[in-house]
């Protein structure tokens, strides 16, 4: 798991003017369900990292999003092959929030029949504490 803050998405007036080409068919999660999940967790307090001085989490609310509806992407990647997993990429709003990464992780695992997982994440020391 990791995130990229250089890939931003400019806000559009509506989906009719700028429709998605895939709606969850390949790598990005399906937008409607993802937005519903984020709405359900909008009041969750993003806990500051206690085990790492990692700015992706500690500065999440300070990220500028003027004119953007996404300030980056979070993704689940096969560490061995570098492949992005199906439905394992989510948009980020205001930096790297655990709820976004939880959704990407669960969505990617939905397509897996793996019985053993080894998860690498630069802020796993904090993320695993409240994995939704």
**Residues 9-48: tens digit of each pLDDT:** 777 777 777 777 777 788 999 989 999 999 999 888 777 7
Note if the pTM is more than 0.85: no
Average pLDDT, the chain: 81
**Would you place residue 102 in the very low, low, confident or very high pLDDT band (cuts 50, 70, 90)?**
very high
**Would you place residue 121 in the very low, low, confident or very high pLDDT band (cuts 50, 70, 90)?**
confident
- Number of residues written out for the chain: 132
Closest residue by Cα to residue 131 from 92, 98, 97: 98
Contact, 30 vs 23, CB < 8 A? yes
Q: Helices (DSSP H) in the chain: which residue ranges? A: 31-40, 55-58, 98-109, 124-127
pLDDT given at position 61: 52
Largest Cα–Cα distance of the chain, in whole Å? 44
């Amino acid at each position: 798991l990791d995130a990229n803050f250089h890939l931003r998405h400019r806000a559009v007036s509506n989906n009719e003017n700028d429709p998605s080409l895939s709606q969850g068919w390949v790598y990005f999660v399906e937008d409607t369900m993802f937005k519903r999940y984020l709405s359900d967790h909008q009041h969750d307090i993003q806990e500051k990292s206690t085990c790492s001085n990692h700015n992706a989490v500690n500065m999440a609310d300070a990220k500028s999003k003027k004119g953007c509806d996404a300030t980056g992407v979070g993704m689940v990647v096969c560490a061995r092959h570098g492949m992005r997993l199906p439905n394992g990429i989510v948009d980020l709003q205001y930096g790297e929030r655990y709820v976004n990464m939880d959704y990407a992780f669960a969505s990617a695992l939905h397509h897996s029949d793996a019985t053993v997982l080894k998860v690498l994440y630069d802020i796993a020391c904090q993320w695993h504490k409240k994995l939704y």
